[in-house]
A and B are shown apart, each in its own frame.
Chain A
Amino acid sequence: MKRARVMVDAVVHDAREQDGRVLLDDGRLFAEEEVDWLPPVEAPGAIFALGLNYAAHAKELAFKAPAEPLVFLKGPASLIAHREHTVRPHGVQFMHYECELAVVIGKEARRVRREDAMEYIAGYTVANDYAVRDYLENYYRPNLRAKSRDAATPLGPWFVDRDDVPDPLNLALRTTVNGKVTQEGWTRDMIFSPAVLIEYLSGFMTLSPGDLILTGTPEGLADCRAGDVVVTEVEGIGRLQNTIMEFAPPHH
């Protein structure tokens, strides 16, 4: 089942997908543009994200593929929902989207073996893990200023139950900017699969229900400008829309 959290007339509802529409818990049916979306995971705990987890993307960024997962953390303040806006800071040269399969942890995980790891997944959603490359420095890279910015991580629209995704390693990822395809890839090209990532992380720390793992992005990055409509889509999981905005610089 595809589930969501949406707001209608300032009231938060659980909802599910029905024939491409949004069925509220009170039985009302809306088109997706008629509701205000919320991130599908309420109050997430840890938000893990992966760098360089697709071989071709690592090459694109002139890095060799890592021998160990390159994990970084993001703050929950960076999460926003489907059909919201992300700010491009004024004066930056390169801000790009990253279309990613997001894994939602379903139960406490400690020292889980990869062959058992799928049991610890509640389901999946789509993330757009924006980066402002101008702010990347070489300290704890990728750093929070480049990655954990307010509203820089659209998430959703749907949470899809694990068992409804029989083969999470065979999904197409695709990003369009203003309708033009700019990024395409397959989850099968991930270097470290969700199961391996759960084994890795739970090997040294405890994962909890609601923790998120954003599994990295394939090649095909492009700069996004104010007004651009960016759609990151993972086959069978969802189509996540976001619009870039920019504020005028403050007057001093």
Chain B
Amino acid sequence: MRGKVLLLPAAAGAALLWAAELPDKYTPAERRHWAFQERSRPAVPEFADPRDRAWVRNPIDAFVLARLKKEGLRPAPRADRTTLVRRLYFDLLGIPPTPTEVSAFVNDRSPDAYPRLVERLLDNPHYGERWGQHWLDVVRFAETDGFEYDTHRKDAWRFRDYVIRSFSSDKPYDRFLMEQLAGDEINPEDQELRTASGLNRLGPLRKNAGNQEVASSRNEVLTEMTNVVGSAMLGVTLGCARCHDHKFDPIRQKDYYRIQAYFAATHDKDVALASSEEQTAWQMRFDAADQEVKSLRMSMRGLKGDERKQMEKKLEDLEAAKPEPLPAVYSVANDRARLSPIHVLARGEYENKGERVGMRPLGVLLPDGTGDSDPAQAKSPRTELAKWVTDPANPLTARVMANRIWHYHFGRGIVATPNDFGAMAPRPSHPELLDWLAGEFVSGGFRVKAMHRLILASNTYQQSHRSPAAALGLAKDPENKLLWRFHRRRLEAEEIRDAMLAASGKWNRKAGGPSVLVPVEQELVNLLYKPSQWTASADEEEHHRRSVYLIAKRNLRLPFMEVFDSPDLQISCPRRESSTHAPQALELLNGDISNQMAKALAERLRREAGSHPVEQVDRAYRLVAGRGPNPRERQLGVEFLKGQPLEEFALAMLNLNAFLYVE
């Protein structure tokens, strides 16, 4: 075996329990899979040709160019500044540049105009909202339970704000993971850390009337906690090993349950933020309301028909009148008295208990026969797991995050499946580059912003989408895996809505706080099991906040978001789909959101461009597409405005490829 073995205190600990009858073994072939190998320190390719040397701005370019040359391809020329500034704004902030911001950059002739723009955007408060959303996708953040009741988690927004703060402040990624896995263990008095470990509660939660399956529910909760470690942090499909040994990767079923054992004592804990007086007062009000509900229930016994219906309505009102829960942090805590014994479960079924296991990281990264340790003896079990996950020598963690960062910048990862680095995943397109990036990430202290600086500085990133050699590129590499041009992408659902808000001037820039419920059609609300759950936020200004602040409700996603491939909030989403179909056109043409935004945009055009069609068209293009119109576009727009309303012109603008795509 060539890879370095990760020996960890947790695994080497004295409290070995349940040593397996037969020590598990991994064949050399299993251990040889590239992702389990120690990171290489690849030599940066060098070039003799002056043309090549001129293009290579940093090692990223060297790796990319070497690969392109092997296929007889050349990179595309640098994108023009108008394109670059719009690209950077969407990439880093998820919102378009204003016309002033575009011209400031285009006209900035100083040699460091570009890096200064990058720095400005990295410092921009909206950066965290954009990059935080990526992480929220990966950890399937939502603010409701899902399943039948889809109960709202009123304070779940605190975790969302924690993620945004973490990205904005460039918290080292190893620290970020540590806090989310084990914040409560690190310091139970620290509200930020407690909020962070709310990660362990983000999964859907099945609650049912009359549930007689306590053990089954606990098993589902543990499953949710365990799977995140695999998909979000390690990039292995650990979840596949819940029911049987992994079919393709060297992950045994026992590995799965050994990871789960780190969570054996983990239980939900809501930490009240109110004073004890407030809590007492609240409890009294709650008990009183609860007593009323109970006595009404008693009196309902035996009632039938209309009489019963009336009482049921009254009951509903009483339930609704119960005081709202006090502010709290949704965290977890270890409760060793309620420690769940972890067994290997045949077919993943909680009733089919097999061998009991203790805590241990993935066996393929440990020496054969490494024993496991007893969760009952562990003071801080999740901290132990987090230490192993974030160990600089862990071959997966840094590669996985470096790849995610790359994926979000380029629309495709070096490994195309960011949650899966296993045998079934496509091989990395640039393995040396991935190792080099992961190495930089670790040696730079796991700083995400440092990775942005590196990547954004490269010529690879600054390429145009428009390549003079497109025909050759398309013939040799139709999916542009080798990056012979920049990948044009459709804006994501949130970006489309946010960009409409920005272009129309309606955007409410307020950051953080409880999530917003926007008005939706009653017919949609009626599709909820409990329609009373959806009441639009009273303050209309709130409806114009960025999409990351809209409630993430598992059983009612906004049709606008759904139709543009927003994630379904149930399972980890490593990569957004980008489909194109008629309901999107219907949403943008006839939907409330786009029509309201078009009206606002039209008003803004009148305000800022007066009544002159040429200026209206010019201004509209600058607001919506970040550039002026070309002659043909100007001509068509002006013609249209001779007889047609400005609102319809504005709506057309919000339907354009020039708006919906970023080059």
Q: Do A and B come from one complex?
A: no
